[in-house]
Amino acid sequence: MKETFDAISKKSSAITTKAYSTSFTLGIRFLSKKYHDPIYAIYGFVRFADEIADTFHDYNKQKLLEKFSRDTFEAIEDRISMNPILNSLQWAVNKFDIERGLIEQFLHSMKMDLYQKRYDREKFDAYVLGSAEVVGLMCLKVFVGRDTKKYSELTHPAMKLGAAFQKINFLRDMKADRKTLGRTYFPDMANDQFNDRQKRRIESEIEADFREGLKGIKELPPGTRFGVYLAYVYYYKLFRKIKRVKAEKLMNKRIRIPDPVKYALLFSTYLKHKIHRF
């Protein structure tokens, strides 16, 4: 029965999420249970596409990504795929009416990673839109269901929150992006140079994104707010840690939050949520 295969597919997406991201797994765990499977489905899909672009160096990445893209849209159209990750995604896309354009935009950014090594402002904004902002909109579709009014109201904050997370990822992963993948995402890093003035400018951008994102979190439906806020708190903690580091050091060291600190954040965030102090 297809129900059994669908259940296995959903579990595959959950396993993928848990293997790749403890922080997002924590956030998802504290969403209402009905949101777990579709959010795992989205993250599993996003993670696999990102893996093609970032880690499969001994394979033809372009060919793999093109096939993955074709298989994605065939799965959505046919409502089935023998790739469990894509079968899980098509279920979420069709159940929650996630726009195909969001998926196209995301895959476009993944394709940019195959050939784009330096970014001007226009390309940077396009990459962030596809790699992060539209992922926030996919999740928002799940959270609000078919409430188009709520979706419209929260579109801007959801995109800004996704942008903040992605820009922090760029800062955190700057060493690997430069030395392993040969990429420089930020548009003002001419000749691979990065200084404290440039870093402060980026941080100011991220602060503004966070402010807009938080407004949206406060308006999310019950059952979604705490999980998303937990992800916000984790990333803001990471952001504050990055702000204390000099630009030169950031280019040569990956900044992270230790797991014990993550769990402490979980406890304090839960208390704030219970007394409505965020």
Residue with the two structure tokens 């999420």: 17
**Selection from 18, 34, 11 nearest residue 224 by Cα:** 34
Could you write out the DSSP letters of every residue in 186-208?
STT-GGG---HHHHHHHHHHHHH
Task: Specify the 3-state DSSP secondary structure of 278.
Answer: coil
- Separation of alpha carbons 162 and 69, rounded Å: 22
Topology, domain 2-274? Farnesyl Diphosphate Synthase (1.10.600)
pLDDT for 184 equals 87
Residue 208 to residues 60, 161, 216: CA-CA distances in angstroms?
A: 39, 10, 13
- Separation of alpha carbons 265 and 262, rounded Å: 5
- Separation of alpha carbons 4 and 255, rounded Å: 41
pLDDT for 159 equals 98
- Record the tokens describing residue 109, joined without a space: 């950014």
CB 231 within 8 Å of CB 213: no
Q: Please report, for the chain, the start and end positions of each structural domain, with discontinuous segments joined by +.
A: 2-274
pLDDT for 17 equals 95
DSSP state of 276: T
CB 34 within 8 Å of CB 142: no
pLDDT for 244 equals 94
pLDDT for 25 equals 87
pLDDT tens per residue, the chain (278 residues)? 789 999 999 999 999 999 998 878 888 998 999 999 999 999 999 999 999 999 999 999 999 999 999 999 999 999 999 999 999 999 999 999 999 999 999 999 999 999 988 899 999 999 999 999 999 999 999 999 989 999 999 999 999 999 999 999 999 998 888 888 888 899 877 666 788 999 999 999 999 999 999 999 999 999 999 999 988 988 999 999 999 999 888 888 888 777 666 667 666 766 666 655 55
